[in-house]
Amino acid sequence: MKSIVLAEKPSVARELARVLGCTQKHKSYLEGTQYIVTWALGHLVELKMPEHYDTRYKTWNLEDLPIIPEKMGLKVIKQTSHQFKAIEGLAKRNDVNEFIIATDAGREGELVARWILEKIHWRKPIKRLWISSQTDQAIREGFKNLKPGKQYEALYESAVCRAEADWLIGLNVTRALTTKYKDPLSAGRVQTPTLSMIFEREKEIQKFVPKDYWTITANVGPLSADWEHNGEKRIFTIEKAEKVKSNLSGRKAVLQTINRKTKEEQQPLPYDLTELQRDANKRFGFSAKKTSNVLQGLYEQHKLVTYPRTDSRYLTKDMEATMADRLQGMISGYKDEVRPVLKGNVLAKRVFNNEKVTDHHAIIPTEEQLHLGDLSTDERKLYDLIARRFLTMFYPAFKSETLHAVFEVNGETISARETLVLDAGFKKVAGKEPEENSKKLNLGTLTKNQSFSLSEPELHKKLTEPPLRFSEADLLTKMERFGLGTPATRADLIERLVETEAVERQNGRFFPTAKGKQLIDLVNDELASPELTAKWEKELEQIARGKGDPKVFSENIRKQTAQLVSEVKKSEKSYRAPNLTGSKCPECSSLLKERKTKEGRILVCSSMECSFRKHKDPKLSQRRCPQCKKRMEIHNGKAGAYFQCRRCNVVEKAEEKKKGVTKREERKLKEKYSPEESSFGNSLGDLLKAALEDKK
């Protein structure tokens, strides 16, 4: 008897099949003596849409809302139904008695597999492959230690609750807003509170009124010192600033106190996905989505890092024995950093904590041999972040000493600070080694009541600054703090806000659009509140751990959905599409709206019933202008397609594709009617003539 192994993607299936010895290749699966390895293509099964419950829901009407099915149904996704049918066929084979779920080891991966199993009515045993890396060794170990499927049923229930909640709230509120205000307005359980945070920051910025302030600096002997009072260095009136400056001028500075503080900074914990996305954004300007995509390649294709979509920054205790192999695997790219610690013991023992590891441990390198030449530039950058964070575990703590000297000058206080690095420790390998203090002023040699001459104090005028708009790193931090989404979903949620034109990404920071500002005003305050979504996410986590009740959660979501839709229906708030133009639709005379897309700006009809759309910016073709050699625009006129260069005013008609003999057909003709066998020459015309004569 054989086991069906279901991977999430064809690429992963091929790797599993290779390790398991499945060499018989078929269109939809790979087979061996013990296993049949097949794959999903992401989701093959999804929740039914409203029109599958009742055809009247194909048309969006406010009166039909809320749509709350008594029992949520599943349907096969049409575009990938061929692969579903293949899996269904394999499941009916008489020589199959077991199903091994080998999709991504997380909530979404569990959902991908379980919905397929539910739709094919699988009743035989289920086992689960739960691994954190895609190396051959990890795969072999995983198949030796397959888990019973029942162990992950709570995770599946949590995934179903999450999917149904997003469907009920997102679909109903989006339909309600869109139909009431006659403009595509997208709302959701997580995206709306995320938009709300961006909007709240914008309000803080708009309310902000800059103020002038002054700081005062002076030299005390060889030291640079700042005026301060109770820790505050800013002075908010010019009168006071001038008075302080006058008090300091021409005076002696007397040392009152000198404090020496030694600081020890522990090695940082390895990365979870959110922390890695934050650092990649700060260091390289990567979006969260880009980091996720590059990381998936390092995990799946190159097998150099462990499972990406984790929310843990700890490792299990049994992993301590694997550290030497992991270091050995990366030595080709990090000889100077790895060699000193290969014989030593792991210093950061606190990272090994079974109780703090959730479904997956932190992201660290695997034992796979590193070949930097195989990686793209972005992959190298991201791998380097992960590798260096991992290496810090094997280096001692960073130690520094800060000396703080406080001087009294004619009733005023000035102070000087100096920080000396005692031991660079883990910062030697962290990517940015701390700079040694170039001026070793040695404040420690100073003594109390020692007197120094003071240089002429300098006034520096400055302006208070508003808080910055959120960068991707800032937004991820806020989302994590409020429990908005999961490490696996946050990147897509951010992209969704950009795609629906609720926010704009400018120079790496998020600006709410006019549409986004109106949308926040239209939705229920509770839905826009991060606290409500955080509460839901906590409940979903409890369900995943077998400590929550999925039925209670679903009932509450249904009640919340009905309430949210009711509020939209009763609302008297108004909305105006911010991208309306003065131009009218040529088909229905409604005003046209201008939208930005990846293909450029387009004009679309504002009427929900009209499908008119056209490009505002003409598309550029691959054809070059014969005069200036620039790419020509392509247009569709009454006589068909044509090319135009506006610079040179050159217009060329697009020729129809010439029908002729393909290269393959030409080769076959040459084979059949070669010069040796015919009195004709070997030109294509001669060969065609021979073919025609042959037909006669």
> If you write DSSP's letter for every residue of 411-480 in order, what string do you get?
TEEEEEEEEEEEE-GGGGTSSSPPPPPSS---GGG--TT-EEEBPPPEEEEEE--PPPPPBHHHHHHHHH
255 vs 641, more confident: 255
- Return the closest-CA partner of residue 275 out of 495, 490, 13: 490
Query: For 459-476, what is the mean pLDDT?
Result: 96
52 vs 692, more confident: 52
Q: Is residue 609 part of a domain?
A: yes
Q: Is residue 79 part of a domain?
A: yes
176 vs 437, more confident: 176
Residue 166, both tokens: 């997003």
Query: For 247-271, what is the mean pLDDT?
Result: 94
Contacting residues for 525 by C-beta, under 8 A, at least 6 apart: none
| Rounded Cα gap, residues 688 and 246, in angstroms | 103
Question: 409 falls in which pLDDT band (50, 70, 90)?
Answer: very high
Question: 643 falls in which pLDDT band (50, 70, 90)?
Answer: confident
Residue that finishes a domain, picked among 145, 175, 192: 145
Residue 605, both tokens: 């009809």
Query: For 240-252, what is the mean pLDDT?
Result: 95
CATH number at 35 reads 3.40.50.140
| Residue 684, pLDDT above cutoff 50 | no
Residue 353, both tokens: 């904590």
Catalytic residue (one of 152, 307, 314, 383):
307
Per the structure, the complete domain to which residue 135 belongs is given by: 2-145
| Residue 678, pLDDT above cutoff 50 | no
- Please return the burial class of 492, using the count of CB atoms within 10 Å of its CB with bins 0-12, 13-18 and 19+: middle
Q: Is residue 283 part of a domain?
A: yes
| Rounded Cα gap, residues 193 and 531, in angstroms | 9
Query: For 70-80, what is the mean pLDDT?
Result: 95
Question: 391 falls in which pLDDT band (50, 70, 90)?
Answer: very high
Q: How does 659-670 read in b/e, with b if 16+ C-beta sit within 10 Å?
A: eeeeeeeeeebe
286: helix, coil or strand? coil
Terminus-to-terminus CA distance in the chain, angstroms?
60
Q: Is residue 155 part of a domain?
A: no
> Known catalytic residue: 307?
yes
| Rounded Cα gap, residues 11 and 53, in angstroms | 35
315-362 per-position pLDDT tens digit: 998 899 899 999 999 999 999 999 999 877 667 889 999 889 877 899
| Residue 658, pLDDT above cutoff 60 | no
Task: Tell me: do 12 and 136 sit in the same domain.
Answer: yes
Question: 656 falls in which pLDDT band (50, 70, 90)?
Answer: low
Task: Tell me: do 15 and 127 sit in the same domain.
Answer: yes
Query: For 258-262, what is the mean pLDDT?
Result: 91
Residue that finishes a domain, picked among 570, 598, 613: 570
* Residues 516 and 184: beta-carbon distance below 8 Å: no
Task: Tell me: do 81 and 24 sit in the same domain.
Answer: yes
Question: 687 falls in which pLDDT band (50, 70, 90)?
Answer: very low
Query: For 634-644, what is the mean pLDDT?
Result: 77
pLDDT number for residue 696: 44
CATH number at 301 reads 1.10.290.10
Task: Tell me: do 109 and 129 sit in the same domain.
Answer: yes
Minimum mean pLDDT among 136-145, 206-215, 271-280, 637-646: which range?
637-646
Q: Is residue 152 part of a domain?
A: no
Task: Tell me: do 286 and 344 sit in the same domain.
Answer: yes
pLDDT number for residue 367: 94
Contacting residues for 315 by C-beta, under 8 A, at least 6 apart: 270, 351, 352, 353, 357, 361, 362, 364
pLDDT number for residue 615: 73
Task: Tell me: do 17 and 70 sit in the same domain.
Answer: yes
| Rounded Cα gap, residues 329 and 326, in angstroms | 5
Query: For 302-327, what is the mean pLDDT?
Result: 93
> Structure pTM?
0.81
Question: 6 falls in which pLDDT band (50, 70, 90)?
Answer: very high
pLDDT number for residue 665: 53
Q: Is residue 575 part of a domain?
A: no
pLDDT number for residue 306: 94
593-610 per-position pLDDT tens digit: 887 776 667 888 888 778
Q: Is residue 154 part of a domain?
A: no
Task: Tell me: do 194 and 217 sit in the same domain.
Answer: no
| Rounded Cα gap, residues 472 and 468, in angstroms | 12
- Return the closest-CA partner of residue 124 out of 90, 96, 103: 96
Instruction: Give the HSE-up count for residue 632: Cα atoms under 13 Å, Cβ half-sphere.
Output: 21
- Return the closest-CA partner of residue 606 out of 593, 623, 589, 624: 593
Task: Tell me: do 136 and 17 sit in the same domain.
Answer: yes
171: helix, coil or strand? helix
- Helices 377-391 and 288-300: crossing angle, nearest 10°? 80
652 vs 232, more confident: 232
pLDDT number for residue 602: 81
Work out how many domains the chain is built from and give that number. Answer: 6
Query: For 456-461, what is the mean pLDDT?
Result: 95
Distances in Å between the Cα of 470 and the Cα atoms of 43, 399, 431, 534, 583 are 32, 32, 25, 20, 35
Mean pLDDT of the chain: 89
Query: For 645-668, what is the mean pLDDT?
Result: 65
* Residues 516 and 195: beta-carbon distance below 8 Å: yes
Residue that finishes a domain, picked among 570, 598, 629: 570
CATH number at 529 reads 1.10.460.10
Query: For 66-70, what is the mean pLDDT?
Result: 96
| Rounded Cα gap, residues 154 and 603, in angstroms | 48
Query: For 38-49, what is the mean pLDDT?
Result: 95
Task: Tell me: do 284 and 366 sit in the same domain.
Answer: yes
| Residue 503, pLDDT above cutoff 80 | yes
**For the chain, what percent of residues have pLDDT higher than 70?**
91
Contacting residues for 207 by C-beta, under 8 A, at least 6 apart: none
Task: Tell me: do 262 and 406 sit in the same domain.
Answer: yes
Query: For 556-567, what is the mean pLDDT?
Result: 96
Q: Is residue 150 part of a domain?
A: no
Task: Tell me: do 364 and 446 sit in the same domain.
Answer: no
Task: Tell me: do 14 and 106 sit in the same domain.
Answer: yes
CATH number at 227 reads 2.70.20.10
* Residues 270 and 362: beta-carbon distance below 8 Å: yes
